[in-house]
Amino acid sequence: MLRSASSKKLLLLALPLILANLSQPLLGLVDTAVLGHLGDAQLLAGAAVGTFLLSQIIWLLGFLRMSISGLAAQQYGAFSLTQEPAQRVWFDELARGLICALVLGAGLYLLSAPLLAWIQSYTELPTLAQSSLHTYFSIRVANAPIILFNLVLIGWMVGHQRTKQVMWIQIIGNLTNIVLNLTLVFGFDLSVAGLAYATVITEWLMCIASISMIYRYVRGREQGLPCSAIPALLRKDNIPSSSIRMLSPDWFRLARFYRLLSLNRDLFIRSIFLQLCLAFVTYQGARYGVEAAAINALLMQFFVIIALGLDGIANAIEALIGEAQGQSDQRQKWQNIGISFMWSSIFALSFAIIFALGFSDILGLLTNQTDIIVAAQPYYGLIVALPLLAHWCYCLDGIYIGLTRADVMRNSMFVSAFAGFFLVYWLTLGLENLGLWYALLALQTMRGLTLGGHLWWLYSKRLNRLANIPT
């Protein structure tokens, strides 16, 4: 019965996150369609480069979401053990996460001018495309602190198992962005600037919505109070002790940030190695010619589909594992790990079956170029195997984020990048672009093996401790 309840809980947490993830490609399609109707391909090219550049930077800074999610989940588990309302929410790590986001966002803005100048010189785009790139990137990067605030706020909500709220924020935010895109670009004739402003406005609205939902969750909903009663909770005698601590100079000491900063450091290093491998696939594939670059662009969509689904499962795993870790409930933790493996495997098998049966049909939806579809057929087996071998690393990432063991994730990625990706690529040099995809498959497989090996070691230690307990 307990396993059934935990399994149901995982699904209830995961499904809203999967739906939220699936809404994201719709926004990308609309952005591309809007840019494609601006009348000049150079506008599309410049904004596309700006979008790609910013998305890669934000992806690298995604450690903010992961670290806060793991810490918040453990705090949620720890505070669920007490019945005192004032002690049920811990603001410390959320506030520190927002401070880190503010510092990183400000730093990114200050570095944006030289970074943009370097990108413009490197890409050698035509004048109009350069102008489009400068306009789009400059507007978006000025909003960097809010972008990073959203990562922290969403991570905190996932850790506190507010996944339905995350889903609504993401879906409504994406739909709002689409409406603003069409209104500002075509209604107000703002061209590329309108596209950028639409996203900035949406990011502010999502930030306000997240803060509002956290505020209601903390001050009212958990206590079953109506919204009209919330202001009464803000009287001095109702302010949690954690909030009072935040006002003291001691709270701002660097040592108080150590745990969060060490997590962020390890996750950032991990992200760099992962991004290095993915960037290598893109740029090395382009060196193999136009056909290889086109094939890679199509096959990466399968990779994205897998990530959208399995990330939702991984985020739910973070919340459950972190909760059990915060409660120091070893039995529940290992039970949740087993359930996580089960559902991750089920989703992976579903993806593999869909890809096996519809590989050519999916390619046909992505392109009408028959020669590219034919050239992609040798990758069929790799794409079918990808979810079956890659889902372990997604699942284990979720487990280790919940355990806040980013050091293990960092070491795993380092080994997987060099002993997995680059080693296999070197061994398959003669296969050219096909060898790149064998290397990518090896990267994901090695990540699963190294993280899984460490988890088995932890489990063996637990079994040994239990065996040594006298009966």
Which tens digits make up the pLDDT trace of 393-441?
999 999 999 999 999 999 999 999 999 999 999 999 999 999 999 999 9
Q: What local confidence, expressed as pLDDT, does residue 247 receive?
A: 52
The predicted-structure confidence for 198-229, as pLDDT tens digits, reads as follows 999 999 999 999 999 998 887 764 454 444 44
Averaged pLDDT score across all residues of the chain = 87
pLDDT band at 348 (very low <50, low <70, confident <90, very high): very high
Distance linking the first and last C-alpha atoms of the chain: 27
The three-point CA angle 375-378-382 to 5° equals: 130
- 358-395 confidence digits (pLDDT tens): 999 988 887 888 888 999 999 999 999 999 999 999 99
- What is the four-CA torsion angle of 79, 80, 81, 85, rounded to 10 degrees? 70
Percent of the chain residues topping a pLDDT of 70 = 89
Q: What's the confidence (pLDDT) of residue 257?
A: 85
257 token code pair: 């940030």
Examine the pLDDT at 231 and tell me if it is beyond 60.
no
Give which of 79, 107, 75 is closest to 93, Cα–Cα: 75
Total Cβ atoms within 10 A of residue 199: 24
Over 90: is that where the pLDDT of 351 sits? yes
Buried-state track 287-318, b at ≥16 Cβ within 10 A, e below 16: ebeeebebbbebbeebbebbebbbbbbbbbbb
Q: 10 Å Cβ neighbour count for 432? A: 14
Mean pLDDT computed over 141-161: 96
Q: Where does the pLDDT of residue 318 fall: very low under 50, low under 70, confident under 90, or very high at 90 and above?
A: very high
Give tens-digit pLDDT for 239-283: 445 444 555 666 677 777 888 999 999 999 999 999 999 989 988
Q: Does position 88 have pLDDT exceeding 70, yes or no?
A: no
Question: Which of these, 100, 98, 79, 66, lies nearest to 258 by C-alpha position?
Answer: 100
pLDDT for residue 87 is more than 60: no
- Is residue 134 over pLDDT 70? yes
Q: What angle do CA 356, 278, 271 make, to 5 degrees?
A: 120
pLDDT at residue 280 in the model: 92
